[in-house]
Chain A
Amino acid sequence: GDSVTQMQGQVTLSEDDFLFINCTYSTTWYPTLFWYVQYPGEGPQLLLKVTTANNKGISRGFEATYDKGTTSFHLQKASVQESDSAVYYCVLAPGNMGYKLTFGTGTSLLVDP
């Protein structure tokens, strides 16, 4: 079945630092990949969606791409702010038009002011 591996459990940065979070995925289908963000006390919300390999998704200063060759996808931001402190999930949608998303285990980002 589909799987997503998100190795970075916790990341601590200072304001204006560069953020890079990486995930790897496994699927037999052509993937659509998402990044969801969860702020404290809230449910997750969609941050970015990437439907085509090597094309960028861009939102709120974040960029995401995925690489079919290495089956990896990543999220980056040039300059993080304290308000970016949250949990970031990489998420795989099945290419068979099913309804089950596969979530990574989440990366908790803490940005020190």
Chain B
Amino acid sequence: GGIITQTPKFLIGQEGQKLTLKCQQNFNHDTMYWYRQDSGKGLRLIYYSITENDLQKGDLSEGYDASREKKSSFSLTVTSAQKNEMAVFLCASSIRGGAYAEQFFGPGTRLTVL
């Protein structure tokens, strides 16, 4: 087994601020993902990284940057926080098997912008 750790659990920022969310996994998985979860909506993919040196944009990448520092860690930066970005950000990892592979999720970072 393994675990995905997301830090911080709660993040409060000011409008226009640059904010960074971090994710660590010890599954030894190749592929990692960042999703945004808004109330009443499904999960939407922001960025994913197939392997350690890869970075791919998802459907919601505008306003975000991502960085895969090493195999076990994947960071997401909100480049300029906006009031309508109050949401939960979920990190996930999987083996390198495309979307057929089971994704394992962390507990999330809840972002509030004042």
Contact = CB atoms under 8 A, between A and B. Distances in A.
A97 B103 CA distance: 15
- Size category of the B interface is 20 to 34
A43 B108 contact: yes
Interface string A62-81: 00000000000000000000
Contacts of A32: 99-100
Given A43-B92, A46-B102, A98-B99, A103 B43 contact: yes
Interface string B64-102: 000000000000000000000000001010000011101
Nearest to B48: A99
Contacts of B102: 46, 49
Interface in B5-24: none
A44 B4 CA distance: 12
Given A46-B103, A100-B58, A100-B99, A89 B50 contact: no
12 contacts: A4-B42, A43-B90, A43-B108, A44-B43, A45-B104, A49-B102, A93-B98, A94-B99, A97-B98, A97-B99, A99-B50, A99-B56
Interface of B: 4, 31, 33, 40-45, 48, 50, 56, 58-59, 90, 92, 98-100, 102-108
